Amino acid sequence: MTEYDYWKIFPRMPRKVTIGDITVRDGFQHEEKFISTAAKIFYIEEMIMAGCRNIEITNLGNPYLMPQFRDAEQLLTHVRSDAFKNRCAKKGIRYEDICFTAVTIRESAVDRAIALKQKGIGPDRLLMMVSTEEQHHFANSGTTLPDYWKEAERCIKKCNDAGMKMCGTVSTIWGSPIGGATDMKDAVEFARRWLSIGAHDIEHADHDGSASAPEVYRYFSMVLDALPNPKLHIAHFHETKRMASASILAALQAGITHFECTLGGLGGQPANFLDDCPTKGTGDYYYEDPRYVGLVCLEDTLVQIDEMGIEHGYDVDRVLWLGKMMEKTIGRRLRSEAVVNGRTKREGHPQFARPGLKKLKEKFGEQPDQKLPADWGPIESLPERCFQVGA
């Protein structure tokens, strides 16, 4: 190895990324208690003040299925209010730069979004979803893939005519929690299909944490070979095996510039129990242990990207503070390690230094920055085994 410049080794890796926050929608949808509307508004506002410009805030599907989102119109009303716009202006934030997304899995939800748009409180962007594995798709949508594609085609036309964008999600790229192994070529084809029927961008989703780093690199390389514009693609990783940060790195190396995360690694399948009452959600959970679901942590991902020297636009310390607040909101320890340990400090932690080192070096006649014995010269030779490759 003679080349040590990361960006020369991975020439597609970006110098700047977009990190969208989907805590209030995907993060909260898995919680088995109702998160108050006031808390949702707090996190929406605070994430925007911390630098987020792409934020998913609700699901416009039937509240009977997902009562966590029974306050959807209240949230949209708030973010469209003059009071909120004025607060953004006072903080130097261009309101027009913020993109508010709502999930609209079926046509009835798209129609609801259009009606809200006509009232002046609609989202900027909607999201529909297909899975390459049809059992998983059926669990989420209640219909077949061919039927859903035709529905999506109608919905995108309606959406665009109403002045909103549509994101097309492709799921089960690296495997399905129901049907098992999948073919990544199907996902590339599905991404092409979304764009051909008018989708604005594509969310490439690992909804059950099946992805591994080499397969993530391979897939996004395939995607960018087929559809080279990086602005079209969003990477969405769930964390079930503590491998999502490796997937983030592999996607960066392949050239992906847009990611989605949640505070504390919250999220997962819509809850089938809320407060003291069972609810429909999307049926039985796909897992047995609730500790191993959710998305990649925003806090940890942000620290990772920040320490790589990649531009992201966030106030990292403010996000870490929000992660601590989120643990109070949810009422349990969440999965971010950065919230506990913070960022790597170049100045170290001098408060943990043991006393006496300076005096000991003086006693031995050593210079303050001396690290080797004074009578040691340059290394003249090393054992032959140091240079054996593949032995």
State which amino acid sits at residue 261: C
Distance between start and end Cα atoms, the chain = 17
| Whole-number Å distance between alpha carbons of 263 and 276 | 25
**φ, ψ (nearest 5 deg) of residue 154:** -65, -45
Query: Does 334 lie in the same domain as 354?
Result: no
pLDDT at 85: 98
Residue 345 burial (C-beta neighbours within 10 Å; 0-12, 13-18, 19+): exposed
pLDDT at 77: 98
- pLDDT tens digit sequence for 180-211: 999 999 999 999 999 999 999 999 999 888 89
Query: Does 360 lie in the same domain as 282?
Result: no
Give 107's strand partners.
none
Query: Does 371 lie in the same domain as 258?
Result: no
Query: Does 374 lie in the same domain as 299?
Result: no
**Confidence category of residue 389, pLDDT binned at 50, 70, 90:** confident
* Residue 252 domain-assigned (yes or no): yes
Helices (H), the chain: 6-9, 28-29, 37-49, 72-79, 82-90, 107-118, 134-141, 145-161, 184-196, 213-226, 244-254, 298-307, 316-330, 338-341, 357-363
pLDDT at 391: 58
Contact 107, 148 (CB under 8 A): no
What are 101's two structure tokens? Answer: 């997304």
Domain span holding position 369: 350-386
State which amino acid sits at residue 131: S
Contact 114, 162 (CB under 8 A): yes
Place of tokens 């050239």: 255
pTM as predicted? 0.93
Query: Does 371 lie in the same domain as 313?
Result: no
Contact 50, 44 (CB under 8 A): no
* Residue 71 domain-assigned (yes or no): yes
Query: Does 51 lie in the same domain as 199?
Result: yes
pLDDT of residue 1 exceeding 60, the answer is no
**Confidence category of residue 293, pLDDT binned at 50, 70, 90:** confident
pLDDT at 2: 60
Query: Does 246 lie in the same domain as 143?
Result: yes
As separate numbers, helices (DSSP H) first and strands (DSSP E) second, the chain gives: 15, 10
pLDDT at 55: 98
Average pLDDT over residues 124-139: 96
What are 347's two structure tokens? Answer: 């100045």
Query: Does 268 lie in the same domain as 167?
Result: yes
Weakest-pLDDT range from 76-80, 162-166, 336-340 = 336-340
Query: Does 193 lie in the same domain as 95?
Result: yes
Q: Structural domain tally of the chain? A: 2
> 258-261 and 273-274: which strand pairing?
unpaired
| Whole-number Å distance between alpha carbons of 71 and 75 | 6
Which CATH number goes with the domain that contains 229? Answer: 3.20.20.70
| Whole-number Å distance between alpha carbons of 63 and 2 | 58
For residue 35, give the nearest of 360, 306, 44, 286 by alpha carbon.
44
- pLDDT tens digit sequence for 209-227: 889 999 999 999 999 999 9
Task: Work out the mean pLDDT of the chain and round it to a whole number.
Answer: 94
